[in-house]
Amino acid sequence: MTVLIVGGGGREHALAWKLKQDDPSLSLVAAPGNPGIAELAECVQVAATDLDRLVALAVERRAELTVIGPEAPLAAGVVDRFRAAGLPVFGPTRAAAEIETSKAFAKQVMLDAGVPTARAEVFRTVPEARSCVRRYGAPVVVKASGLAAGKGVIVCETVAQADDAIDAMLVGNAFGDSGHEVLVEEFMEGEEVSVLAIADGERVLPLVPAQDHKRLLAGDRGPNTGGMGAYAPVSLGARAGVVSRDYTELLNDVESRVLLPTLAAMRQRGRPFTGLLYAGLMITADGPRVVEFNARFGDPEAQAVLPVADVAPSLFEVMRAVARGEGIPAGARCRASGHAVTTVLAAAGYPDRPRRGDPIALPAPRPDAVVFHAGTARDGAGRLVTAGGRVLAVTGLGPTFAAAQRASAETAARVEFAGKQFRDDIGWRERARGA
């Protein structure tokens, strides 16, 4: 059977790796893929946003399943096009994907559904946004409403910082059209957790909870990025300050208070959500509150979650059933198989001006680590070189968090390219909990 994976980043490499681990007989095709994916799949140079050619490729290869990785083709309506052609595709329609592409829409869905979240207001003018900041007080969060590659959320410690963020978005055009509408949002206290869940419009199958690290530098300092690393599972209970090695209570709480009400609200709007619903959460003293939704596998969360997600009957079978409109199979479940820690290696100049073309030297493979390619390419001489901001994601695996963290850090340190940036403290909160 053939699976088409749309995209060419670390998330798509992790999907390809997971599918091959579950069923080595699967034939994988990636569009456009990357040098790492090319070791597992046939890479075809079709852009992830070239909808006509993607549909033609799926027909030509008789794909039993197409999985959409990035947000851009979802926003462009790739799932609508596949469904119109009668092709099985895993992902939300353009209308349903608005839960990610418009933070203003997502916030209204949550408020209508009674999903716990921060209070927020939406603005298109600087004076109104600044006035709201003064009503809320600092710290406060300023968000670009549209897609901003994970960089459109600014946590402002002072009113002056919030004013600067508003000016950058509404006047300075820092995020293009994505920042022409901004949310001023209440700051929430707690610890962030990401829950990725397969959704069939009515039901969900949550995967293993993870925690992302957005800041560029160790100790959660420096600018926001698309994510500098992640780990899974997370030993947090359903309330802040509660440590639990069994994350079942947390997932049950998220499913009942966040995921299912959101699916119901989307159905009521005539936009049933199928595919991967990603809930970015703050675990507060009152329980989980939603920071944001994404409409696809997170990056780098996918590189930490998928290697330890033991899905039954299998990830492929569950995604294919959803793509066919059959729904999540009865009895499907997911549990963690060990621990994973993912360290992102970023290019020189990231996140503002990442440098491309630096040769990469990879260490010898080891059984407890996987190197996922994100921003890599082959140059004219066939050398592996940097080709994006986040270049590689090194996932360490082990029976304990400490073993996984050690494998990730050691392997990351042995990768060589000029100007390499990475954090050596991924999972520092988990380590502090004594996990």
What are the tens digits of pLDDT across the range 61-113?
999 999 999 999 999 999 999 999 999 999 999 999 999 999 889 999 999 99
Distance CA(234)–CA(54), nearest Å, equals 36
Distance CA(311)–CA(228), nearest Å, equals 26
50 contacts: CB under 8 Å, gap ≥ 6: none
3-class secondary-structure state, position 235 = coil
Which residue is listed with tokens 């979240």? 117
Task: Report the length, in residues, of the chain.
Answer: 435
pLDDT, average across residues 163-178:
87
pLDDT value at 146 more than 70: yes
CATH superfamily for 191-432 is ATP-grasp fold, B domain (3.30.470.20)
The amino acid at residue 388 is: G
Distance CA(265)–CA(287), nearest Å, equals 21
Specify the CATH number of the domain 125-180.
Answer: 3.30.1490.20
What per-residue confidence (pLDDT) applies to 135? 94
State pTM to two decimals.
0.93
Phi first, then psi: give them for residue 332, nearest 5 degrees: -60, 145
User: Among residues 353, 348, 356, which one has the least CA distance to residue 386?
Assistant: 356
pLDDT, average across residues 285-304:
95
What is the per-residue DSSP string for 175-216? Answer: TGGGGSSEEEEE---SEEEEEEEEEESS-EEE---BEE--EE
User: Among residues 188, 203, 126, 302, which one has the least CA distance to residue 315?
Assistant: 302
The amino acid at residue 94 is: R
CB atoms within 10 A of CB 378: 13
User: Among residues 266, 261, 289, 320, which one has the least CA distance to residue 116?
Assistant: 289
DSSP single-letter state for residue 39:
G
Distance CA(53)–CA(46), nearest Å, equals 7
Spacing of C-alpha 102 from chain mean position: 16
Please count the CA atoms within 13 angstroms of the CA of 144 that sit on its side-chain side.
Answer: 24
pLDDT value at 151 more than 70: no
Handedness of CA 112, 169, 352, 72 (dihedral sign): positive
Whole-angstrom Cα Rg for the chain: 20
**What H or E segment, with its residue span, contains residue 31?**
strand 27-32
pLDDT band at 149 (very low <50, low <70, confident <90, very high): low
Is the domain spanning 2-91 CATH 3.40.50.20? The answer is yes
Domain boundaries, the chain: 2-91, 125-180, 191-432
pLDDT value at 435 more than 60: no
Distance CA(86)–CA(93), nearest Å, equals 14
What per-residue confidence (pLDDT) applies to 180? 81
